[in-house]
Amino acid sequence: MTPMYHWLPKRIEGHVKICVLSLLIERIAENACNKPWPEIGRYLDEIQLTEFRTDTHRFLRRNELRSPVRDLLGKLEIDSPKTVVDVQKL
């Protein structure tokens, strides 16, 4: 990440609130999973989408989730993303 420079008080306040909120979300996730945030992040990084194209359609498909990733999402009370995320007719 690059440094953020704000000069207006309301932008500084907004930036600080977003930073505090992100730290709170990290802490809640750590407590729910009983794992440190970097480990949670590595599991979440495994969730990927792949774009497929045919002559008539384009679609996005999620990879198969390993058991630890499914368990992590369950502890966070997050539904697994749909297997086929988007289909578009070309």
**Beta strands of 1-90 (E only): which ranges?**
49-53, 57-62, 84-89
The whole-model pTM stands at: 0.79
- Give 10's contacts (C-beta < 8 A, 6+ positions apart): none
62 or 4: which leads in pLDDT: 62
Residue ranges of the domains in the chain? 9-89
- Residue count of the chain: 90
Tokens of 49: 């989408």
Q: Tens digit of pLDDT for each residue in 20-51?
A: 999 999 999 999 999 999 999 999 999 999 99
Decide if pLDDT at 13 tops 70. yes
